A and B are shown apart, each in its own frame.
Chain A
Amino acid sequence: MTDWIDIGALDDIAPRGARVVKTGHGCVAVFRTGTDEVFALDNACPHKQGPLAEGIVHGKTVTCPLHNWVFSLETGEAQGADEGRVTTYPARIESGRILLEASFLKSRGARAA
């Protein structure tokens, strides 16, 4: 069975914006697209650790604020010429609340250990 954790209201994040969730092992960026979908990814760009939550969100992608790499919010894959992948975590919306899958915390905990 999957456990989901309520991390906040959808309205707490601007459309085409992001906020971070602090965890024991660095931050997770939670994105809201222009069409109100949510995605959760590690908040560190594989290039030079740029904070992805501060990037520009367009379609279902985000552009890293430091050197403009573009990542798919769905798969975490770098788009176009660049190569790299950001870990993604299951996220969904229920009655206006954003839920992240609890097990992601465990996986992050495991890496921390």
Chain B
Amino acid sequence: MTQKLVIIGAGMASGRAMEHLFEADRDAYDVTLFNAEPRGNYNRIMLSPVLSGDKTYDEIITHDDDWYAQNNVTCRFGEHVTSIDRDRKVVVGEKGEVPYDKLLIATGSAPFIIPVPGKDLPGVVAYRDLEDTNAMVEAAARGGKAVVIGGGLLGLEAAAGLALRGMDVTVVHLMGHLMERQLDEAAGYLLRRALEDKGIDVRCQASTAAIVGDGQVEGVLLQDDEMIPADLVVMAVGIRPETRLANDAGIEVERGITVSDQMATSDPDILAMGECVEHRGQLFGLVAPLYDQAKIVAKTLLGEEAAFVPKEVATKLKVTGCDLFSAGDFAEGEGRENVVFRDPARGVYKRLVIEGDRLIGAVFYGDTSDSSWFFGLIKGGEDISDMRDTLIFGPAFQGGEPLDPMAAVAALPDDAEICGCNGVSKGDIVAAINAGAGDLGAIRATTKASASCGTCTGLVEQVLGATLGDDFVIPAAKSVCGCTDLTHEDLRRLIKSRELKSQAAVWQELGWSTPDGCHVCRPAVNYYLLADWPLDYQDDPQSRFINERKHANIQKDGTYSVVPRMWGGMTTPDELRALADAAEKYDVPTVHVTGGQRIDLLGVRGEDLPDIWADLNAAGMVSGHAYAKGLRTVKTCVGKDHCRFGTQDSTGLGVQLEKHLWGSWTPHKVKLAVSGCPRNCAEATCKDIGVVCVDSGYQLGVAGAAGMDVKETERLADLTTEEEVIEYATAFMQLYRENAKYLDRPYKWVAKVGLDWVKEQVEDKATRKALCARFELSQSVYRTDPWAEHVAERADSYTPIANLMLEAAE
């Protein structure tokens, strides 16, 4: 007969327990699930990405309505359980009772609120559930200052999220260094420095005396009488097991609800699991052991033998740019030895704690690439005496050079743990792949690896890559390339915030896994550096695709094309004569009128480039940048000088725009057009920036496209003077230069940030002027003709270094 199971708490622990239970036997129990939160099970860990804006709530739901329906779970969400009546075997909810044969308590924990005056003021929040997260997001939208009390895992993730959302954040921490339970002082220091670099103010050894405010939080008063102003206070000082129901019901409770190895409480019909329990004196605060408990709970419920054995847990912080890892026991002690490796320049710190022949603890900061391997040694209790001398250098110590991440993963043993949350080993993943799981989604579905906090996603992908070889392409959308785990967005942000002004600084400070990048990341990094630091950083031709290095488009036969500028599509008999002469002189096989209103000489030999350019320069022509992620063409129509419908001087404005913008580098190419009237003969409404002249002035559109996608421009502004058009177009261009991901055309970028945001920036006079000023600063370096420069300075590099034809003939 089907028994009745009541579960109190739809958290991370109970969600997993239900999965195991239903997998083993879907009909053993009729389940009723209570949850005080007005929703079902979700991935609580991922609240931090929700806070920082990387994820939405919908993306972190683990069990949806369909799932509950399919498994016959009666959901009582948004309903508190108020008591348990053990004599009658009923659970009392706010809206009524439910009888049980078995009861599972999985109430998690409650945030600890320090009992200071003002703790209940509006504007004080904890960090535990979606309501808290949303409250923070809303507060951040209003801007202002936030104080986070507590410098542990939760507090720092809250601080980083709020800082990313633009708040001025101060972390107030009681202890001497951050995350003191997981990190030693040195790693704590590096972490602090990294957070300070993100603009987060950190106060250690600071004790909160009171939270002050009149009807709303206004500040935090410290013990030493310092007052830190705050519009939002996040209390993240710790958690305590939620044991009230069990206490009231007379079940044995110590700090948490006491459970046996079978996860049973002192009442054999009542089980408990998760953060609310205490097992052999131990409390739990991370999900990995809870998932093990879930397996035991399912077995116990089905009457099978099983015993919970707590395992070592490792900690990672989900804050971009703060790579840290700690596991095991790293307290100083008799008979314990430390091995420490520091690379201050790279901000790397590694410490191993060895007792006898075993590794018992590890703390890494800055470089956590080998952490799974070390964690394996700690958990396995392996004898490390043979590799003691070189242990700190990790599994790849032989080479001395950082190992290619793919090779590092390939070298991991099968029992190496990849996903700490779910205890999934490399072997499990490989087995799943061999059984047909061919992508990340399938791996998540079958093994749960990377389905919780997600920090191991990159590793899982590498296992996929190492196992499937050619059949698996590691998704590019995530990180810039295989050399780093950072996304383009993170990379741009870090280059600005940490003031990284050279490629070397990027490789070192951001922990690139290759010595000098690859053909994917180097052009992007080169662009970001020159866009953000035009005066400090010098453009590196060796980090550009051949077209941009040689200022000409390479053809399939290794020859090049040469396209000089024809400003606004205008030319003269002299220019045409010079082009004709050059075409004849250098045996140019093809002369083509391009789609961008100018002339292309195709099939020029690489060695001839400096000469043909010199000839064109002599006739007053400059590079047309037809090869560049930069300003391309400005097409115009003949406008009011000739056309009977023309309203303004479209040609003149186009020429002015081109002369103002030319030479600038951008994330992807930028094309403009100016049409003299809405008949739009210059096709201005499908350009990156397009101007349509009307009687009353100028309609400035942006974010059009007519390549692989066709898209009409969106109106940025209606303007009345040519000066305004140039100013607005320049501001838009600079905003794009400073913010877009490399290789996103403006229309893709605008789709991501929203036209409204772009408008806000450009419409605000001070912001617009500042954008134009920064553009001008950059143009003081880049508004020059690269052809002339190459003719003068690097003509040599276009010729062979040696000609051995003669010797060979001998």
- Residues of chain A with a CB closer than 8 A to B447's CB: none
A49 within 8 A of B: yes
Question: Are B809 and A24 in contact (CB-based, < 8 A)?
Answer: yes
- Residues of chain A with a CB closer than 8 A to B545's CB: 56, 65
Interface stretch of the complex, out of B515-523, B666-674, B742-750: B515-523
Question: Are B519 and A7 in contact (CB-based, < 8 A)?
Answer: no
Nearest to A30 among chain B residues (CB) is B801
Question: Are A16 and B516 in contact (CB-based, < 8 A)?
Answer: yes
B70 within 8 A of A: no
B585 within 8 A of A: no
Question: How far, in Å, is B705 (CB) from chain A's closest CB?
Answer: 24
Question: How far, in Å, is B268 (CB) from chain A's closest CB?
Answer: 58
Q: A56-B542, A58-B514 are in contact. Are A21 and B796 (CB under 8 A)?
A: no
- Residues of chain B with a CB closer than 8 A to A48's CB: 556
Question: How far, in Å, is B177 (CB) from chain A's closest CB?
Answer: 37
B455-486 contact mask (Cβ, 8 Å, vs A): 1 or 0: 00000000000000110000000000000000
Interface stretch of the complex, out of B120-128, B546-554, B594-602: B546-554
Interface core residue of B469, B523, B549 (most chain A CB under 10 Å): B549
Partner of B800, one of A20, A68, A81: A20
Question: Are A55 and B519 in contact (CB-based, < 8 A)?
Answer: yes
Question: How far, in Å, is A71 (CB) from chain B's closest CB?
Answer: 11
Question: Are A13 and B801 in contact (CB-based, < 8 A)?
Answer: yes
Question: Are B796 and A12 in contact (CB-based, < 8 A)?
Answer: yes
Question: Are B808 and A59 in contact (CB-based, < 8 A)?
Answer: no
Question: Are A24 and B808 in contact (CB-based, < 8 A)?
Answer: yes
A51 within 8 A of B: yes
- Residues of chain B with a CB closer than 8 A to A5's CB: 804, 807
Partner of B807, one of A14, A66, A105: A105
Q: A34-B515, A54-B550 are in contact. Are A81 and B796 (CB under 8 A)?
A: no
B794-806 contact mask (Cβ, 8 Å, vs A): 1 or 0: 0011001111110
Docked pose: A66 CA to B557 CA in angstroms = 10
B96 within 8 A of A: no
Partner of A56, one of B522, B796, B801: B522
A73 within 8 A of B: no
Question: Are A54 and B554 in contact (CB-based, < 8 A)?
Answer: yes
Question: How far, in Å, is B637 (CB) from chain A's closest CB?
Answer: 37
Question: How far, in Å, is B361 (CB) from chain A's closest CB?
Answer: 34
Docked pose: A19 CA to B549 CA in angstroms = 13
Q: A24-B808, A34-B515, A65-B546 are in contact. Are A7 and B541 (CB under 8 A)?
A: no
B558 within 8 A of A: yes
Question: How far, in Å, is B808 (CB) from chain A's closest CB?
Answer: 3
Partner of B519, one of A20, A34, A58, A105: A58
Q: A56-B543, A57-B542 are in contact. Are A34 and B516 (CB under 8 A)?
A: yes
- Residues of chain A with a CB closer than 8 A to B544's CB: 56
Docked pose: A61 CA to B518 CA in angstroms = 9
A76 within 8 A of B: no
Nearest to B796 among chain A residues (CB) is A12
Nearest to A20 among chain B residues (CB) is B800
Docked pose: A49 CA to B260 CA in angstroms = 70
Question: How far, in Å, is B550 (CB) from chain A's closest CB?
Answer: 7
Question: Are B808 and A105 in contact (CB-based, < 8 A)?
Answer: yes
- Residues of chain B with a CB closer than 8 A to A13's CB: 801
- Residues of chain A with a CB closer than 8 A to B606's CB: 51
Q: A54-B554, A63-B519, A66-B554 are in contact. Are A21 and B543 (CB under 8 A)?
A: no
Q: How many A-B residue pairs have CB under 8 A?
A: 100
Q: A54-B546, A54-B550, A58-B522 are in contact. Are A22 and B515 (CB under 8 A)?
A: no
Docked pose: A23 CA to B801 CA in angstroms = 11
- Residues of chain B with a CB closer than 8 A to A54's CB: 546, 549-550, 554
The interface size of chain A toward B, counting residues with CB under 8 Å, comes to 42
Nearest to A51 among chain B residues (CB) is B558
Q: A7-B801, A21-B802, A51-B558 are in contact. Are A15 and B808 (CB under 8 A)?
A: no
Nearest to B404 among chain A residues (CB) is A59
Docked pose: A51 CA to B554 CA in angstroms = 10
Question: How far, in Å, is A89 (CB) from chain B's closest CB?
Answer: 12
Among residues 490 to 549 in chain B, which have CB atoms less than 8 Å away from a CB atom of chain A? 514-519, 522-523, 541-546, 549
Question: How far, in Å, is A98 (CB) from chain B's closest CB?
Answer: 8
Docked pose: A7 CA to B541 CA in angstroms = 23
- Residues of chain A with a CB closer than 8 A to B807's CB: 5, 105
- Residues of chain B with a CB closer than 8 A to A108's CB: 808
- Residues of chain B with a CB closer than 8 A to A30's CB: 801
Question: Are A22 and B519 in contact (CB-based, < 8 A)?
Answer: no
- Residues of chain A with a CB closer than 8 A to B800's CB: 19-22, 27
Among residues 21 to 74 in chain A, which have CB atoms less than 8 Å away from a CB atom of chain B? 21-25, 27, 30, 34-35, 48-51, 54-59, 61, 63, 65-66, 68, 70
Question: How far, in Å, is A38 (CB) from chain B's closest CB?
Answer: 11
Partner of A8, one of B470, B523, B802: B802
Interface core residue of B515, B518, B804 (most chain A CB under 10 Å): B804
- Residues of chain B with a CB closer than 8 A to A56's CB: 518-519, 522-523, 542-545
A84 within 8 A of B: no
Among residues 776 to 810 in chain B, which have CB atoms less than 8 Å away from a CB atom of chain A? 796-797, 800-805, 807-809
Docked pose: A49 CA to B557 CA in angstroms = 8
Q: A55-B546, A66-B556, A105-B808 are in contact. Are A8 and B801 (CB under 8 A)?
A: yes
Q: A34-B515, A34-B516, A54-B549 are in contact. Are A17 and B542 (CB under 8 A)?
A: yes
Question: How far, in Å, is A96 (CB) from chain B's closest CB?
Answer: 14
Question: Are A65 and B554 in contact (CB-based, < 8 A)?
Answer: yes
Nearest to B557 among chain A residues (CB) is A49
Question: Are B797 and A19 in contact (CB-based, < 8 A)?
Answer: yes
Nearest to A108 among chain B residues (CB) is B808
- Residues of chain A with a CB closer than 8 A to B515's CB: 34-35, 58-59
Question: How far, in Å, is A69 (CB) from chain B's closest CB?
Answer: 10
Question: How far, in Å, is A47 (CB) from chain B's closest CB?
Answer: 11
- Residues of chain A with a CB closer than 8 A to B518's CB: 56, 58-59, 61, 63, 70
Docked pose: A20 CA to B515 CA in angstroms = 25
Question: Are A23 and B804 in contact (CB-based, < 8 A)?
Answer: yes
- Residues of chain A with a CB closer than 8 A to B543's CB: 16, 56
Q: A5-B807, A58-B522, A109-B808 are in contact. Are A19 and B516 (CB under 8 A)?
A: no
- Residues of chain A with a CB closer than 8 A to B550's CB: 54
- Residues of chain A with a CB closer than 8 A to B805's CB: 22-24
Question: How far, in Å, is B133 (CB) from chain A's closest CB?
Answer: 41
Question: How far, in Å, is A37 (CB) from chain B's closest CB?
Answer: 12
Question: Are B808 and A23 in contact (CB-based, < 8 A)?
Answer: yes
Question: Are A21 and B546 in contact (CB-based, < 8 A)?
Answer: no
Q: A14-B541, A56-B543 are in contact. Are A20 and B554 (CB under 8 A)?
A: no
Docked pose: A53 CA to B18 CA in angstroms = 60
Question: How far, in Å, is A18 (CB) from chain B's closest CB?
Answer: 9
Docked pose: A51 CA to B546 CA in angstroms = 10
Question: How far, in Å, is A58 (CB) from chain B's closest CB?
Answer: 5
Question: How far, in Å, is A106 (CB) from chain B's closest CB?
Answer: 9
Question: Are A22 and B516 in contact (CB-based, < 8 A)?
Answer: no
Question: Are B801 and A14 in contact (CB-based, < 8 A)?
Answer: no
Question: Are B542 and A14 in contact (CB-based, < 8 A)?
Answer: yes
- Residues of chain B with a CB closer than 8 A to A17's CB: 541-542, 797
Docked pose: A7 CA to B804 CA in angstroms = 9
Question: How far, in Å, is A67 (CB) from chain B's closest CB?
Answer: 10
Partner of B516, one of A23, A55, A58: A58
A and B contact pairs by CB, cutoff 8 A, 22 listed? A5-B804, A7-B804, A8-B802, A15-B542, A19-B797, A19-B801, A21-B802, A22-B804, A22-B805, A23-B808, A24-B804, A24-B808, A54-B550, A55-B519, A56-B543, A56-B544, A56-B545, A57-B542, A58-B522, A59-B515, A63-B519, A98-B801
Which 5 residue pairs of A and B lie closest in terms of their CB atoms, listed nearest first? A24-B808, A63-B519, A19-B801, A7-B802, A65-B546
- Told that A56-B542, A61-B518 touch, could you supply 20 new A-B pairs with CB distance under 8 A? A12-B796, A15-B542, A17-B541, A19-B797, A22-B804, A23-B804, A23-B808, A24-B808, A34-B515, A54-B549, A55-B546, A56-B543, A57-B542, A58-B515, A58-B516, A58-B517, A58-B518, A59-B515, A63-B518, A68-B519
